[in-house]
């Protein structure tokens, strides 16, 4: 069965001075319009009134006619309208209780980006020209796009490390469901090993942040020594951001390769429903958990499984996967975090803690899938009143 998947292809580009200035103005106007529209909707919300996208679009037209905000008309109107649409989506998610109330964009901390639709760019013969620009962008085509692809939207961004990126959203016909192979696997995530599979395979945790920790600390010290607001401090901040970008790029590349392999090789993938947001509140583990990027790992697994016709099953976080014997089903009374291997009192089987957990996740996930029962947990346990955090808190790694 043919499916239609929209896929973003991201490339780095090098703008001319004029293009960089135009894009910087556009970023500033996008942020200004978003914040003003959010303020207008917040004031209306306080009066128990609702303001929708069409009303904010009319406000934008009125703002452009004022002397104070006339500069909004000097940039392409499409990114400004897209900012209002993004705000509408943010409010829709808030009203549906999928997200918190929208926040104002900060000039220093918020992502600098602008989105263009088909009416605001021209893409011909591999050359992309944005509205208000006479020359195409100097893009480094690091990987080929689908043949004959026509972008529906183009997003331009500028990160803290000073790099410029363009993301083109196209329909990728190469993304099609893979032949079913009937293979299922349980996946247990951790810190000493990034993932442990029910087959016994363990994937080492590269610890990307730890490898560059000394370099990052040195760059951050240089920032702290510079005078606030000075040009030297700005340069030092860029150097520190480049170290962060290097870490994030390596981590993302590794996760993409791992998740792609797991999805291609297995029809069913069973994972544990971890509350990473709650787990990082533990200060002694927050840095290691963030570096492992468990949430990104799960997100990649889920959307790639949807692409290729695979299934991801999330098991209740309160399921005692580490304490349950995968051979006889006996439940150990205690399982301290420093115990990495243990012997079952019931059958005498010796288990590797992580491999045993992966096997148990696979078993309970397949059982729930066959029975048709949901395995995603409730936010709170009604009987115990415990918060929705994982019982098996990972041990601190040296």
Measured in whole angstroms, how far is the alpha carbon of residue 191 from the centre of its chain?
A: 19
Dihedral of the alpha carbons of 70, 130, 158, 235, in degrees to the nearest 10: -80
For residue 319, the number of C-alpha atoms closer than 13 Å in the C-beta half-sphere is 29
Annotated active-site residue 171? The verdict is no
CA 82 vs CA 8, 64, 66, 71, 210: distances in Å: 17, 16, 21, 18, 39
Contacts of 223 (CB under 8 A, 6+ apart): 233, 236, 237, 240
Token pair in block for residue 9: 């292809």
Are 192 and 397 in contact by the 8 Å Cβ rule? The answer is yes
Token pair in block for residue 34: 């978003």
Catalytic residue (choose from 272, 291, 302, 397)? 272
Distance between CA atoms of 320 and 317, rounded to whole angstroms? 8
Contacts of 98 (CB under 8 A, 6+ apart): none
Are 132 and 156 in contact by the 8 Å Cβ rule? The answer is no
Mark 264-282 as b/e (b = at least 16 C-beta within 10 Å): eebbbbbbbbbbbeebbee
Catalytic residue (choose from 115, 188, 209, 291)? 188
Mark 350-373 as b/e (b = at least 16 C-beta within 10 Å): ebebbbbbbbbbbbbbeebeeeee
Catalytic residue (choose from 22, 115, 209, 354)? 354
Annotated active-site residue 188? The verdict is yes
Annotated catalytic residues are: 188, 272, 354
């Amino acid at each position: 069965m043919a499916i239609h998947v929209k896929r973003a292809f991201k490339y780095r580009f090098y703008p001319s001075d004029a293009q960089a200035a135009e894009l910087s103005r556009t970023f500033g106007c996008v942020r200004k319009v978003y914040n003003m529209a959010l303020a207008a909707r917040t004031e209306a919300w306080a009066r128990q009134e609702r303001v929708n996208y069409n009303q904010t679009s009319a406000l934008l037209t009125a703002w452009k006619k004022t002397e104070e905000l006339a500069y909004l008309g000097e940039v392409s109107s499409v990114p400004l309208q897209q900012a209002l649409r993004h705000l509408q989506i943010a409010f829709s998610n808030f009203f549906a209780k999928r997200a918190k109330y929208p926040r104002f964009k900060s000039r220093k901390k918020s992502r600098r980006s602008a989105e263009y639709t088909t009416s605001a760019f021209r893409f011909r013969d591999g050359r992309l020209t944005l509205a208000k620009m006479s020359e195409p962008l100097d893009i480094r085509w690091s990987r080929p796009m689908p043949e004959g692809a026509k972008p529906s939207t183009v997003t331009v961004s500028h990160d803290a490390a000073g790099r410029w990126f363009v993301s083109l959203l196209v329909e990728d016909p190469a993304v099609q469901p893979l032949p079913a192979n009937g293979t299922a696997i349980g996946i247990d995530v951790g810190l000493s090993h990034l993932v442990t599979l029910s087959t016994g395979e363990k994937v080492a945790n590269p610890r990307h942040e730890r490898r560059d920790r000394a370099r990052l600390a040195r760059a951050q010290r240089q920032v702290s020594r510079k005078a606030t607001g000075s040009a030297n401090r700005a340069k030092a901040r860029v150097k520190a951001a480049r170290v962060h970008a290097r870490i994030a790029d390596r981590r993302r590349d590794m996760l993409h390769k791992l998740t792609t392999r797991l999805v291609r090789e297995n029809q069913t993938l069973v994972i544990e429903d971890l509350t990473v947001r709650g787990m990082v509140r533990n200060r002694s583990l927050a840095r290691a958990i963030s570096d492992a990027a468990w949430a990104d790992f799960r997100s990649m697994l889920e959307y790639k499984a949807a692409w290729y016709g695979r299934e991801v099953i999330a098991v209740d976080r309160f399921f005692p996967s580490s304490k349950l014997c995968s051979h006889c089903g006996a439940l150990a009374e205690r399982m301290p975090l420093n115990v990495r291997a243990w012997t079952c009192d019931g059958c005498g089987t010796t288990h590797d803690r992580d491999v045993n957990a992966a096997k148990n996740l696979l078993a309970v996930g397949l059982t729930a899938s066959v029975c048709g029962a949901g395995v995603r947990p409730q936010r709170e346990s009604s009987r115990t009143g415990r918060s929705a955090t994982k019982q098996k808190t990972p041990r601190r790694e040296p």
